[in-house]
């Protein structure tokens, strides 16, 4: 008899707030029960900053230069003036003046050269599924900086020869009739990167920094009907630039939004999620290819290549005591981890396969469903049991599903190649165990069994 099911060992990586599990194959020839560890992210603490963005145009800057007195601080005074400023604009009224920003960046860093490595001016709506607020990346640039002032060496890896700057042009727009409290951090990570990527407001004028304006001018509140726009710069070390070149893509954590300045869980309007951000043409290709796969963590965080083995539209629904669960579809993929994650699959000597299941929950009970705590068990031929890998499942925007509402999520199951090959043609049955926010079962016992194959 083979060993009982081995639960995957989960290692928390604190780098930039991401979780990276160390994985091991889990299989057994008899049924076992292992509780699923699904890591919950806590609501971010906020020392947030808001924006009422107004960016100086070339005409304003030229005017200030013409009226410049012998006082050497005239430029600094001009930087802090907002009365005569306009929203970021170039040829289009609603577009940021990137040429002016690049010139100012070179001036701030006293750099010999600032070169554009990549740009994307296609707007990205980070709050598409959230009513009441628009959080939009209007565009972003990735610059390479050469030979800059020694005062900046600590920011760029203790050297002054080469560095990078990623700059997002951000709009926050409150479309609701109440004040909102977003947390305007746009944390960005790159697979395998060991250097922190953090916002540095010194790389932009105060009058153009979305963080500075949000925190100082708006005192951390986005009033009903208000719109704010500004830049969000991220300095990049040479080591990180190498990772960007190798990976081509990064991961951005979108802001959380609250309806109260207390930032309590019950006032959470939108929980931050992760999206993929390309920084090279290679990254664009990776993002396009990833669009064909379900957004589990392996895909979202670019752990490696996937090969589609099977994709099935199931649309099977089971209802019990007011709760309806529908298996919409599933994808089975063969995994080929990249160099940064290969060690985490070292125990998968015969390869690794990932089953990602798309599930819809319709909660017509009188209790709230604890959506993020629904456990899943996959039985192969009623002999081998796999338990859902919570840390390979994408973060849920809302952890709870209130009574009377509907929501979808993904469940993932990781299996070793040898077991998959042995049971590929056998019966596969998925059991889901929903519970309410008091951790009591929803639906009848043993109600939610689905035949996948």
Specify the pLDDT at position 366: 92
Both tokens assigned to 210: 């979305």
pLDDT tens for each residue of 226-267: 999 999 999 999 999 999 999 999 999 888 899 988 888 888
Nearest CA-CA partner of 322 in 447, 431, 437: 447
Pairing of strands 133-146, 249-253: unpaired
Q: Which tokens is 332 given? A: 């089975």
Structural contact between residues 234 and 22, judged by C-beta atoms closer than 8 angstroms: no
Residue 308's H or E segment, with its range, is strand 304-320
Query: What pLDDT score was predicted for residue 25?
Result: 46
Q: Which domains, from first to last, does the chain contain?
A: 15-34+293-451 (2.60.40.4170), 58-284 (2.60.40.4170)
Please give the structure tokens belonging to residue 100.
Answer: 């002016």
pLDDT for the residue 248: 93
- For 372, the 3-state DSSP assignment is helix
Taking Cα atoms as reference points, which of 7, 26, 23, 6 lies closest to residue 380? 26
Phi, psi of 36 (to 5 degrees): -85, 130
d(CA 453, CA 448): 16
Place of tokens 């050297």: 159
Report DSSP letters for 98-157, one per residue: HHHHHHHHHHHHT-SEEEEEEEE-S-EETTTT-TTEEEEEEEEEEEEEES--GGGTTTTT
Q: Is 286 helix (H, G, I), strand (E, B) or coil?
A: helix
Please report the pLDDT score of residue 146 as a whole number: 97
Residues in the chain where the model's pLDDT stays below 50: 1-21, 25-94
CB 153 within 8 A of CB 186: no
Whose CA is closest to 277, among 252, 294, 253, 296? 252
In angstroms, the Cα distances linking 61 to 89, 100, 229, 377 are 13, 9, 19, 63
What's the first-to-final CA gap in the chain, in angstroms? Answer: 25
Report the pLDDT value the prediction gives residue 309, as an integer from 0 to 100: 96
């Amino acid at each position: 008899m083979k060993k009982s099911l081995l639960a995957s060992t989960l290692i928390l990586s604190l780098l930039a707030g991401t979780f990276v599990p160390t994985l091991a194959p889990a299989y057994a020839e008899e049924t076992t029960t292992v509780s699923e560890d699904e890591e919950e992210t806590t609501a971010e603490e906020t020392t947030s900053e808001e924006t009422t963005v107004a960016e100086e145009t070339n005409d304003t800057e030229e005017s200030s230069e013409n009226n410049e007195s012998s006082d050497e601080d005239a430029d600094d005074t001009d930087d802090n003036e907002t009365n005569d400023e306009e929203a970021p604009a170039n040829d289009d009224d609603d577009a940021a003046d990137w040429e002016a920003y690049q010139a100012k960046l070179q001036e701030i860093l006293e750099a010999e050269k600032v070169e554009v490595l990549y740009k994307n001016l296609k707007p990205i709506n980070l709050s598409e599924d959230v009513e009441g607020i628009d959080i939009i990346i209007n565009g972003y640039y990735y610059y390479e900086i050469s030979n800059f002032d020694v005062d900046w060496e600590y920011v760029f890896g203790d050297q002054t020869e080469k560095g990078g700057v990623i700059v997002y042009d951000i709009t926050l727009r409150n479309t609701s009739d109440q004040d909102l409290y977003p947390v305007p951090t746009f944390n960005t990570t790159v697979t395998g990167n060991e250097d922190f990527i953090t916002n540095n407001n010194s790389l932009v004028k105060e009058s153009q920094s979305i963080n500075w304006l949000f925190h100082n001018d708006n005192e951390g509140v986005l009033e009903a009907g208000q719109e704010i726009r500004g830049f969000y710069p991220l300095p990049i070390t040479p080591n990180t630039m190498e990772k960007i070149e190798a990976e081509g893509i990064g991961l951005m954590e979108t802001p959380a939004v609250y309806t109260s300045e207390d930032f309590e869980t019950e006032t959470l309007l939108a929980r931050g999620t992760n999206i993929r951000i390309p920084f090279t043409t290679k990254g664009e290709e990776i993002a396009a290819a990833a669009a064909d796969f379900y957004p589990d963590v392996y895909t979202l965080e670019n752990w490696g290549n996937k090969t589609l083995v099977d994709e099935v539209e199931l649309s099977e629904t089971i209802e019990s005591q007011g709760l309806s669960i529908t298996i919409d579809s599933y994808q089975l993929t063969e995994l080929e981890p990249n160099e940064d994650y290969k060690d985490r699959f070292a125990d998968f000597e015969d390869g690794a396969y990932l089953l990602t299941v798309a599930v819809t929950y319709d909660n017509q009970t009188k209790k709230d469903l604890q959506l993020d705590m629904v456990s899943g068990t996959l039985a192969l031929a009623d002999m081998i049991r796999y338990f859902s890998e919570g840390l390979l499942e994408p973060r849920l925007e809302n952890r709870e599903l209130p009574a009377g509402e509907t929501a979808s999520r993904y469940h993932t199951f990781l299996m070793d190649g040898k077991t998959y090959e042995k049971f590929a043609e056998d019966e596969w049955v998925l059991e889901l165990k929903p519970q309410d926010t008091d951790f009591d079962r929803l639906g009848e016992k043993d109600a939610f069994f689905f035949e996948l194959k």
